[in-house]
Structure 1
């Protein structure tokens, strides 16, 4: 099925995360999240699922030399890369750990964030409860998660586009509609939720979008899973390649707060 327009090989997980962070859409929602955190000098902030440390430097700059930044990730390779990237930043510590079993004292953290992490977590409710536990009264959690069911791809065959989106939301991502669920789940975990900010990314260039969505690879997976026929998938990809192209997807930035005692 290979078409030279599409990326043939999947990037490594670290390369993919770096790619998303460097994209215009990635910068837009990350800036929104950073502003929503309202970090102050001296704060202790935890990046839950910090990956390769993409955002730790910006957090450290915001809390200043008197603050503390702790990155937590379950993947040893991610932790190693994050430590390498922040080796010269004195107020940053990176730990190997599970979001569902955080090794922090109750009420010991001023701010926390999750960035495109809860979509992959086995028990996001447990992760939210743990974040609630470690945050102090008045503390804040800021989450950024996509709603993959919102992925809209223009095509002459709208039903194939819908099938592609259903496959991504139902099979590719563990918690494919977590974005729309965040506010409700946060309230259930004991947070107040003052703010929900939808951030919609618009892609007009196929190659840029393919860097994020991996159209050919995921079309092949959708065919194998029975969401598409091989002929429909091939025609759909050919149609995308012939242009013009448009795709959108919405990520939700949700602010959750712990009530003051």
Structure 2
């Protein structure tokens, strides 16, 4: 089966290692990571790339929903498979349940090597705020912006040397007034995307099928939609 991957450069280190360890040799079409800050632009770019792809049976998307940027895109003549995750952070942690457990324990701003290397990120924006407003005012701004976060969670995936990266993240945590913690990541979800099985952890879109809310949010979306017809909440509908 001819397979192509479309992937965000944010997870380039992890995807390259996962492909090496699984002996997968799929060609990869890389998408610049900064686009995920602009979901409409990312959606437009992805659809343009999908429209230009030919002679493949399936496309594997190394992406999360990323602000519903996958909503409304259509693979013209081949299957498209993507993880059932909101963004790449969940993909690198291994599951939605693990991310929720970590966040429930303490408000956590997650950070990875790719986040700092490939995109406009919280650290570069903080430095820009200092340049524009001075450190005192920038600190006040970020105190408000990060009021729900207590921890900087640095995800260690083993895909790159960690020591130099941690030197930088300790400085970031100190300046942003967050406690610093290294959180173990995993390549297992990415490896499963590469090799299958593409079970309930993934969404499969058939040729000429368009991604909808129902694909992404499943029964929860259908319950909310049906309940709204009768003027009830989803919770009331399920009683």
Q: TM-score range, shorter-chain basis? A: 0.3 to 0.5
What TM-score results when the alignment is normalised by the length of structure 2? 0.35
Q: Which has the higher contact order (CA 8 A, sep 6+)?
A: 2
Q: Kindly indicate which of the two structures has a greater share of residues assigned to strand.
A: 1
What TM-score results when the alignment is normalised by the length of structure 1? 0.32
Q: Kindly indicate which of the two structures has a greater share of residues assigned to helix.
A: 2
